[in-house]
Chain A
Amino acid sequence: MALRDSRGSRRRLLLFVLSMSVGVAALVAINGFGANLGRAVEEQALGLLGADLGLESDLPFADSTEALIRDIVGEAAAGVGLDVNEVQARRTTFASMAYFPRQQATRIVSVRATSGSFPFYGTFETAPTDAADTYRDLAGALIDPSLATQFGLSVGDTMRVGQVYYPIVGTIEQTSSEPAFVSLVSPRVYVPLAGVDEELLAFGSRVDYEIFFRLGGIDVEALAEDLDGRLPREVEIHTVDREREAWSEALGNLYRFLGLIALTALLLGSIGVASAIHVYIQQRRQTVALLRCVGVTPKRAMQIYLLQASLLGLVGAAIGAAAGTLLQFLVPGVLAQALPFEIDMRLYPGPILVGLFAGVGITLLFAWLPLLAVRDVSPLSALRADVETGQLARTVRSPRRLAALVAAAVGVLTFGAFQGPTPTVGLAYVIGIAVVLAVLGLVAWGATHLVRKLVSPGLTYPVRQGLANLYRPSNQTRLILLAVGFGAFIVFTLLIVRSTLLSQVRLADEGERPNLIFFDVQPDQLEAVRTRVVDLELPVVEEAPIVTMRLAAIGGRDFRAEREGEAEQSWAVDHEYRSTYRAQLTETETLIDGTFVGTYDGTGPVPISLEQDIALELDVAVGDTMVFDVQGRQMTTLVSSIRLVDWNRMQTNFFVVFPTGVLERAPQTWVLVSRAASAEQSGGAQAAVVSDFPNVSAIDLSLIIGVLEDLFAQLSAVIQFMALFSIVTGLVILAGAVVVSRYRRIDEVVLLKTLGASRAVVRRISAVEYLSLGVLASTVALLLSVPVGWLLAKYAFETPIALPFGSLAVAAAAVAGITMLIGVANSRGIYAAPALQVLRGS
């Protein structure tokens, strides 16, 4: 019965159900990828660390620590007959300038100096292949392909790091311990540890020291626990298990975040389903009334349609699941830059079942409300078509309707909580999307009303008729606006975020703002570097000393003591603070609390100034005491002021500012800030300074802009891939609504034809109708994406919004154009429909 009744409308309904399929496909693809990701991390955990045990510190290992490690690890190794010296490798990582003599160019790179045969496990692929094994013996360098491309380097070229020259022996193609995108930020250069310019590791430079062990056959986890309590606080202990957990968490968060985006498509699709059922039931009123006349109960009538809906939901979900199963093989490609390994994808039944369940569940939840209308169809309406109107209104507040609404809301929220990175994030996200959709709906409603007001008698007939068509019954103008508007909203918001982020950096280049920074300048070099810079006719805008320190205690809380107990410590607690000292605030700083003390008078705790965010993060206020460990010396300080810092400048900004008279003798490096008038001047100055002072690094703004642009391109490729699902859902809903309206449209076109309308007039009418729909959708999306972009800019990026007028205009025109194309394509052939049916009154 249920099946028989849906005959004829089935294909039309299916198109609508497809809008849900897109979301299901996204969900299945992402969850399927997630399942594979989990397995891949399991399988590749060894390669992620590259060893069984890793010890990491940002201070050189003290002799005592080295001895301790040799003792503990050596004993364990000896237990299985291994010599600790033979299963050991080292890697020392630091930022430095690489200088390419042939190209006369210089660039900051991330140097990884290695000894031993690291990595012990996993992949470390180079081109040529044998370079991975030979670069240490050849005293050569392996470089990132990006570096090779940037400077046109090839094997055989020479590069200099510090005072040491290295022949380039190969490029790094893939390493299982690092995702590819790390090289975007700072290209990697692998050199042998032996022979590295020791100057570069001088005190104050940011250096990461690592020791790795290959300890097959040993209970490394037990060993690590033993080490935990006995090594100094700054030493981090990595094991395969711990690494696996960290990666699972990081990648898990990534894929669950993508899952949320999939959920967006599904939510939009569910609205498509709801309105499809609504329209369907409207069209079926006569049938329902007839069924009621022949004695079918309201409940039974509703069951018939509920069964139809669930069957359709199942078909839609199955289509989605099938598509998603295929699509999941694309996901690793999209995320390639973020994955440290290749994933050989396999099929898992779990995600497919979840997808099917979600599809059918969403369909039922969202079909319920419109299906309730079936119960209210009076058998009388089989006789007279106009009986119904009064009855509909009465049911609006019925408990059944309320129950259906609540069920839909609870269902979606539960699903969000289940799919989100954490239940809270999932819930918040779903609510956020719901709010966006609701506001879109509201604005769409307002906009259509406004257009109705604006339709003036002065317009030509096709324009007036086209605009009037927006109000054609069951034209689903609002649904189309919602669906297309939401897709457009996503695109516009992405564009705004992109331009805002990039302009934030570009902004820094305006006027006389500094754009070139020399850092890692040793105190005894300061004079000479300054002179060199001035000789190059560059201004010295600012000089600042940097002293690295760690937080030892806040008030009565001793972090050393807390280390073992608490797992959930703020990053700010373990942060290596790079603080400065000076007597006054800079122009990028504003005092917001307390008083800034410029000079220490030698009595009591040292008065310091904290940046606002770090104060919040650490939960400290003016008057609190903080103890810093300044390279071994405990220093008690008192928070005397809180500063607001404008981070959007390329300047030296600090979390903690000390007064003068305290840190002058502490080991420190200096930063020198300048401004180059052009890229050439900047490049020349960097090359000149770096060649005279090899330990000094330089970075300029164009480099940062380039890196950000690259990063953003990577990121937006991922987001666009996911956003695509929502956009496609919007298009499917548009197509569905348009196809459903075709039947009414035929009626009208035929009537117009009977009255003597030419093909051109009819075409113009539908062009106006869909163009105005598209323009309205674009407008509605703009009206929403601009404020959302503004909110994101203000609160997430803390920068003024930058509207990309050009690309927004292009995108808005594209949205309007696509809508018009789909609409006009749908109207094709209608004019040729036989006009006789209008006479027959069908």
Chain B
Amino acid sequence: MVSVSDERTGKEQRVLEVTDLSKTYQSGQRSLTVLHDVSFTLNDGDTCAVLGPSGSGKTTLLGLCAGLDTPSSGRVVLCGTDVGPLNEDARSRIRNEHVGFVFQSFRLIPTLTALENVMVPAELRGRADARDAAQRVLEQVGLGDRLSHYPVQLSGGEQQRVGLARAFVNAPRILFADEPTGNLDDETSQAIQELLFALNRERGTTLVVVTHDEALAEKTDRIVRLRRGTIVSDSPTHASEIRP
């Protein structure tokens, strides 16, 4: 387990603080504990991979961290706010301000164009420059010429780039990516990974990537391994050593 030792780094640098997090699903008579006393902390700019076999609770953990679900016990402090006591609206606001998401299955709104999809989080925040900001990020991910295309008119890789642009448009402090390259071929996957890390470097966004891909995991600073709902290992990677 990661110790919460370096108090001196200061609370303002701490993006995510997970303490003794458990999640139990009740289905009929049986109860299924999917997460068991999970704790870890992430600071600004950290990159972290969550690895584990299917069904080990990775997605569940991600959801709890982002306040998409309520834990059975334990605490999640996201960007300095304890999300536990918050209502849905307040959680939504925190997500909108500080959190970005990238999904395995892209999850674009089919009725909106690429540009409009990227604009959504900015508009939800009420930014007047939503259009310009979205356009800029799209250009950054190399889709400057596909602004008015609808999702069905884009390839999987392009859709995921739109997804990335959407995740970054509000300059979030933390980005959750659930198997972002799971649905893509190797080459496209590489391109997306590069983008992901480039954006992380440029903007200092904390990155949490759930993946099955050991190679992708190796590019992060730290790998958290889950098995049957518990963290079995949490260690810095080779990459963390060569990075400044």
Contact = CB atoms under 8 A, between A and B. Distances in A.
B63 A836 contact: yes
A755 interface: yes
A469 B111 contact: yes
Contact of B59 (A461, A831, A839): A839
A753 B69 contact: no
Contacts of B59: 836, 839-840
A758 B89 contact: yes
B176 to A, nearest CB: 8
6 contacts: A457-B131, A752-B124, A755-B121, A757-B92, A758-B89, A831-B88
A431 interface: no
A761 interface: yes
B93 A754 contact: no
Interface string A747-761: 010011111111111
Grouping DSSP codes into helix (H, G, I), strand (E, B) and loop, the B interface class, with mixed when no group exceeds half, is helix
Interface string B172-183: 000000100000
B96 A472 contact: no
B124 A839 contact: no
Given A836-B63, A840-B59, A461 B107 contact: no
Contact of A835 (B63, B97, B125): B63
Contacts of B195: none
Interface in B194-224: none
Contacts of A839: 59, 62-63, 68, 101, 103, 178
Nearest to B94: A756
B123 interface: yes
Contact of A755 (B60, B111, B166): B166
Contacts of A469: 111
A472 to B, nearest CB: 5
Interface of A: 457, 460-461, 464-465, 468-469, 471-473, 748, 751-761, 831-832, 834-836, 838-841
Given A751-B107, A758-B92, A834-B68, A461 B112 contact: no
B105 interface: yes
B110 A755 contact: no
Contacts of A465: 109, 111-112, 120
Contacts of B107: 751, 838, 841
Given A755-B96, A832-B88, 10 more contacts: A473-B110, A753-B88, A755-B166, A756-B92, A756-B93, A756-B95, A756-B121, A759-B92, A834-B68, A835-B63
B105 A841 contact: yes
B88 A759 contact: yes
B127 to A, nearest CB: 10
Contact size range, B: 35 or more
B133 to A, nearest CB: 14
A471 B121 contact: no
A835 B109 CA distance: 16
Interface of B: 59-60, 62-63, 66, 68-69, 88-89, 92-97, 99, 101, 103-105, 107, 109-112, 116, 119-121, 123-125, 130-131, 166, 178
Grouping DSSP codes into helix (H, G, I), strand (E, B) and loop, the A interface class, with mixed when no group exceeds half, is helix
A461 B109 CA distance: 13
B120 A471 contact: no
A567 B62 CA distance: 87
Interface centre among A464, A473, A835 (most CB of B within 10 A): A835
A460 B104 CA distance: 29
A839 B103 CA distance: 6
Given A753-B92, A754-B66, A758-B92, A464 B60 contact: no
Nearest to B106: A841
Contacts of B69: 834-836
Contact of A756 (B96, B111, B130, B178): B96
A836 to B, nearest CB: 4
Given A836-B59, A836-B69, A841-B104, A755 B131 contact: no
Nearest to B89: A758
A1 to B, nearest CB: 27
Contacts of B88: 753, 759, 831-832
Nearest to A759: B89
A835 B66 CA distance: 10
